Amino acid sequence: MITYLCLSVICVLLVSTETKVVHRDLGFAMCSDTNGEYLYGVDGEEMGHADFTKKEFVMTLPDFADPLTYGEGAYEAAVGEVDICRTNLNNHKKAFNYPAEAKNPPQSSIYFKDDVLLESKNTLICYITGFYPPQAGVSWTRNNVNMTDEATLSRYYLTTDGNFNLVSALSFTPQQGDIYTCTVQHSALDRPLTKTWEVDVSLPSVGPSVFCGVGLAVGLLGVATGTFFLIKGNQCN
């Protein structure tokens, strides 16, 4: 299946009396033979997308971000953009005889949300970046036991270069020596991409404290002994 990506970029210059601020507005229409997507973003962040199942335009930024809103006709405009995308896709099929789809392999990293403390609940995050097309499989294991059903998966985040990012999260309670893996499957990879993380929390050592305590005690004992003999010597004189 060939996917055709239509990208429109609008640079908006906002001018005030004190500063100039340049923002980049991005509108993306994506389609295949059977599917279509449309989303709108500003400065690399998605602001909203068309939900073709509910047949409405959905704003995705939280209210506290004071996002722009779209009035009536936003969803219908998205449908029109996807229709144009499909027309272009059919034209490209005829002109280029089904060219191979460009593919970019993902990169991934795995890290924890909070400082790791044994027996304290935490979250492992697998961050997958820079891949195209926007279909990727993510699986988790703990000590070679599949944990994928317990993980969450974000929507696909479209970047300004036309690639996609994805975030998967797994809640866990650290146990010393546990080994976690996050594995990504993508059509641009020759083999699955796996990142491994092992719980290795060093317990605080009591050695230095003990040695310091003993040294301090010996030092104080030496001072007390010296003082005792000094006083005795003065009495003899």
Beta bridge partners of 5: 30
Determine contact, residues 123/114, Cβ cutoff 8 Å.
Answer: yes
User: Domain residue spans in the chain?
Assistant: 4-96, 107-198
Q: Beginning with the edge strand found earlier in the chain, give each strand of the sheet holding 20-31 in spatial order.
A: 4-15, 20-31, 36-42, 45-51, 56-59
pTM (predicted TM-score):
0.57
Q: What is the pLDDT of residue 227?
A: 47
Q: What is the pLDDT of residue 143?
A: 96
Cα separation, 172 vs 20, in Å, equals 46
Q: What is the pLDDT of residue 66?
A: 62
Q: What is the pLDDT of residue 19?
A: 59
Cα separation, 1 vs 34, in Å, equals 9
Q: What would the pLDDT profile of 115-131 be if each residue is shown by its tens digit?
A: 888 988 999 999 999 99
CATH class of residue range 107-198:
mainly beta
Q: What is the pLDDT of residue 200?
A: 84
Cα separation, 196 vs 179, in Å, equals 7
Q: What is the pLDDT of residue 68?
A: 66
- From the number of C-beta atoms within 10 Å of its C-beta (0-12, 13-18, 19+), residue 237 rates as exposed
Burial 68-83 (b: 16+ CB within 10 A, else e): eebeeebbeebeebbe
Q: What is the pLDDT of residue 6?
A: 47
Q: What is the pLDDT of residue 224?
A: 47
Measure Cα distances from 211 to 87, 204, 214, 218, 222 in Å: 78, 14, 5, 10, 16
Q: What is the pLDDT of residue 221?
A: 47
Give pLDDT < 50 ranges for the chain.
1-3, 6-16, 205-214, 216-218, 220-221, 223-233, 236-237
Q: What is the pLDDT of residue 64?
A: 60
Q: What is the pLDDT of residue 13?
A: 45
**Domain 4-96, CATH:** 3.10.320.10
